[in-house]
Amino acid sequence: MSDSKDLIVKTAFNLFISKSYNEVTMQDIVKATGLSKGGFYHYFSSKEKVFEAVVNVFIQRTKVEELTAFSEGTLKEFYSAYIDVLEKRIMKYREESGASKEVLKANHYALVFDAIKLLDGFKERQTQIHEEELELWKTVIAKAKVSGEIATPLTDEQMAKLFLFQNYGIGVYYFSRSQADEALEQMKEQFQAIYKSISKD
C-alpha cells in the first residue's frame, strides 16, 4: 500500500470509528488527509470504496493465524494467548489509525454493524472467520481432553462455544458502554472460571 493510500485508509478509519458511516462525507475524509482532491481520487472514487478498504485492513482480520502457534500447547496457554491477541489488536488499531483509546472502545462494534449492512460478502466472511476460530478451539479442547488436562461431559464443540461466545457477549456488552479494559478483565475472569471448572489439576 502506498504512503498516500495508507494515509487515506488510516484517516478514514479514525473518522468512521469516531462517528459512523452515514455521518462521514468524502469531503471530511479528503480534508482530514490534507491531500488534494486529485491525489485522493487517484486511489478512491467513492466513500464506499474507502469504507471497504478500511474494513479490509482493520476489521476483517482473522485471529486464527496468530493463534495457531499456541494450539500445540495446553488449553490454559491457548486461552491466555487468545486474550493477549485481542489486547494487542486493540493497541495495533490505535497505533495504525491514530484513534484514541476512548474512540476505539466506543464505536468498534458500530463499525462492524455498518459493514454488515453495507458491504457485500462481509457477513459471509465474518461467518467464515468465526467458524475457523471455532474449529481451532475445538482442536485445542480435544487435545486437552486426551492429555488429561481437562475433564467434561460437554462435547468439544459445546466447550469451544462456551469459551468463544464469552468473548462475543462480553465484547458487545462492554464495548457498547465504552469499557474495553473492563471487557478484557471480565474475559480473563470468565475464561479462568470455565477452565477451573473443568481442569483436573
Compute the C-alpha angle 49/61/85, nearest 5°. 145
| Alpha-carbon gap, residue 123 to 115, rounded angstroms | 8
For the chain, 201 residues long, give each residue's pLDDT as a single digit of tens.
Answer: 578 999 999 899 888 887 788 999 999 999 999 999 999 999 999 999 999 999 888 776 666 777 887 888 999 999 999 888 888 877 776 676 665 655 555 567 778 888 989 998 888 988 888 898 899 999 999 999 999 999 999 999 999 999 988 877 776 665 555 555 677 788 889 999 999 999 987
Phi/psi at 34 (5° precision): 80, 5
Amino acid at 149: E
Q: What is the pLDDT of residue 181?
A: 65
- Residue found by looking up cell 463499525 in the block: 111
- Residues 97/14, Cβ–Cβ less than 8 Å: yes
Give pLDDT, residue 98: 62
The pLDDT value given to residue 107: 67
What is the reported pLDDT for 79?
93
> What local confidence, expressed as pLDDT, does residue 176 receive?
57
pTM (2 d.p.): 0.79
The answer to whether the Cα torsion of 34, 39, 42, 43 is positive or negative is negative
- Residue whose C-alpha cell reads 471487557 in the numeric block: 183
Judged on CB neighbours under 10 Å (0-12, 13-18, 19+), 137 is buried
CA–CA distance, 175 with 178 (Å, rounded to integer)? 5
| Tens of pLDDT, residues 124-169 | 988 888 898 899 999 999 999 999 999 999 999 999 999 988 877 7
Nearest Cα neighbor of 24 from 39, 36, 8 is: 8
Beta bridge pairs of residue 199: 150
Backbone angles phi, psi at 131, to 5 degrees: -65, -40
pLDDT at residue 63, as a whole number:
67
Residues contacting residue 187 through CB under 8 Å, at least 6 positions apart: 83, 86, 166, 167, 170, 171
pLDDT at 182: 74
**What is the rounded distance in angstroms from the CA atom of residue 122 to the CA atom of residue 129?**
11
CB-CB neighbours of 108 under 10 Å = 20
pLDDT value, residue 17: 80
